[in-house]
Chain A
Amino acid sequence: MKLIWALIRRDLRLATRQGGGAGTAIGFFVTVIVLLPLGLGPDQALLQRIAPGALWIALLLSVLLSAERIFQSDYEDGSLDAMALGVVPLELVVLAKASAHWLTTALPLAIAAPLFGFLINLDPQAIPPLGLAMILGSLFLSLLAALGAAITVALRRGGLLVSLLILPFYVPCLIFGVAASSNSELIGPSLLILTALVLAGLVLVPVAAAAALRAYLK
């Protein structure tokens, strides 16, 4: 456990030194949200109706923006080779990298996102359930981002491929995430399903991503 924490701490340190993690993602997110009403016109009722969905889509895209880099630098500078020779199984390395991505990028975004809802006339009552759903969902997004990053780690300009591979898997998260904030009866069940997605991701993603990384290292 201490070994895993060492890796998470290093990644957090790298993210704060280099910048570009949460900052870029939030910048991109805000830009999308600001552009939206300009493109749709000042129809407040329409904006309120689409606000949760728009915020979710912007969140998905912002998380994807940084996904490609999760393993790339470690692969290129040889850290991944050295990690593969550690006593820590690659599965746990994947879990640590995904957690670090969540803490530095997806979680700050999920916390900030509902607050930017006022830009597109989000119903204030929808903020708490939306925030909760986003915090849960963002963990799932980070896990899947790690999977996409592992599958494309050796490919230059793999970003587009990550999006194509991962976006379909984001669909359930999007559907139930939006449901949680647009219909009060669906809050409970939607959050449960999001939790189930996170749990499934926690179990399946490390195994799949580690298998992909091993294939590349061979």
Chain B
Amino acid sequence: MMVQLQAKSLACQRGGRAVFSDVNFALSSGQLLELRGPNGSGKSSLLRLIAGLGEPVLGEIVLDGGSADLTIGQQAHYAAHQEAIKSPLTVAENLEFWSDFLGGGDLDGALAAFDLADLAQFPAALLSAGQKRRLSLSRLALVPRLLWLLDEPTLGLDQASLERLMQLLRGHLSGGGLAIIATHAALALTADATIVLGAAR
């Protein structure tokens, strides 16, 4: 099944200030889009717009070929800087909640995806920043979703985890998924398209 995500002349404002305008892209199944640009250029804002956690002042985002009765956000994973981790709960309990809440998922697979099985019974409060990031990213492997929106996912990851992320991403794309990554780092994967957002005005 061919899926296409299209953005047509998107413009975004935050607090009355224009962040970006006239952003266009078309992304099909199996493609990776890279967002680049200096701090404050609107990479995160663009990801939030696509997830439906914001409204563009101009333009529109259309998903062709996905589930008709779900919004784009409901078919997407949005991995942001805030990691949505509850520190009093253990790693497994954190994942278990998201698995239940998102409608059932592969708990063991998610733990294995970022090598967290040994830490499963650990309270999340004791995790390091990198481990928290891994826990947050393992949601990607927990529940399959069509579109991945990743906001600087490589932040704080060690080399091994970085490779696991790339492997996961490769699997997702070859399975017909779509991914948009905002990053400053050089990725091991070649993006099918790159959008460079302008400097903050």
State yes or no: do A and B come from one complex. Answer: yes
Which of A10-18, A59-67, A198-206 lies at the interface with chain B?
A: A10-18
Known: A3-B100, A17-B89. A79 touches B84 (CB 8 A): yes
The listed residue (A14, A76, A217) touching B88 by CB distance below 8 A is: A14
Answer yes or no: A35 CB below 8 A from chain B CBs: no
Most buried by B among A2, A3, A6, A76: A6
- Structural contact, B74 and A78, CB atoms closer than 8 A: no
Complex: chain B residue closest to A218, CB-CB: B54
Mask of A1-44 contacts with B, CB within 8 angstroms, 1/0: 01101110110011001100000000000000000000000000
Answer yes or no: B189 CB below 8 A from chain A CBs: no
Complex: chain A residue closest to B123, CB-CB: A17
Known: A10-B86, A17-B88, A18-B88. A82 touches B93 (CB 8 A): no
Determine the chain A residues whose CB is within 8 A of the CB of B80 once the complex forms.
78, 81
- Structural contact, A14 and B86, CB atoms closer than 8 A: yes
- Structural contact, B74 and A85, CB atoms closer than 8 A: yes
- Please report the C-alpha to C-alpha distance between residue A95 and residue B86 in the assembled complex, in whole angstroms: 20
Answer yes or no: A88 CB below 8 A from chain B CBs: yes
Answer yes or no: A112 CB below 8 A from chain B CBs: no
Mask of A56-88 contacts with B, CB within 8 angstroms, 1/0: 000000000000000001001111011111111
Known: A85-B78, A87-B74, A217-B53. A77 touches B103 (CB 8 A): no
Interface size on A, residues (CB 8 A): 26
Determine the chain A residues whose CB is within 8 A of the CB of B100 once the complex forms.
2-3, 5-6
- Structural contact, A3 and B78, CB atoms closer than 8 A: no
Answer yes or no: B76 CB below 8 A from chain A CBs: yes
Complex: chain A residue closest to B100, CB-CB: A6
The listed residue (A6, A9, A77, A84) touching B86 by CB distance below 8 A is: A77
- Structural contact, B73 and A85, CB atoms closer than 8 A: yes
- Structural contact, B52 and A85, CB atoms closer than 8 A: yes
Query: Which size class do B's interface residues fall under?
Result: 20 to 34
In whole Å, how far is B145's beta carbon from the nearest beta carbon of chain A? 9
The listed residue (A13, A17, A81, A88) touching B82 by CB distance below 8 A is: A81
- Structural contact, B84 and A81, CB atoms closer than 8 A: yes
In whole Å, how far is A48's beta carbon from the nearest beta carbon of chain B? 43
In whole Å, how far is B136's beta carbon from the nearest beta carbon of chain A? 8
Answer yes or no: B68 CB below 8 A from chain A CBs: no
Contact residues of B between 30 and 57, Cβ < 8 Å to A: 51-55
In whole Å, how far is A13's beta carbon from the nearest beta carbon of chain B? 6
In whole Å, how far is A119's beta carbon from the nearest beta carbon of chain B? 33
Complex: chain B residue closest to A3, CB-CB: B101
- Please report the C-alpha to C-alpha distance between residue A77 and residue B98 in the assembled complex, in whole angstroms: 14
- 24 of the cross-chain contacts (CB-CB < 8 Å) are A5-B100, A6-B97, A13-B93, A14-B88, A17-B88, A17-B89, A76-B82, A77-B86, A79-B86, A81-B53, A81-B80, A81-B82, A81-B84, A82-B78, A82-B84, A82-B98, A82-B139, A84-B73, A85-B51, A85-B52, A85-B76, A87-B74, A87-B103, A218-B53
Q: Would you list the 3 A-B pairs with minimal beta carbon distance, nearest first?
A: A78-B82, A6-B100, A17-B88
**B→A interface (CB under 8 Å):** 51-55, 70, 73-74, 76-78, 80-86, 88-89, 93, 97-98, 100-103, 139
**A→B interface (CB under 8 Å):** 2-3, 5-7, 9-10, 13-14, 17-18, 73, 76-79, 81-88, 217-218
Told that A86-B103, A87-B70 touch, could you supply 10 new A-B pairs with CB distance under 8 A?
A2-B100, A3-B100, A3-B101, A10-B93, A76-B82, A82-B78, A82-B84, A85-B53, A85-B73, A86-B74
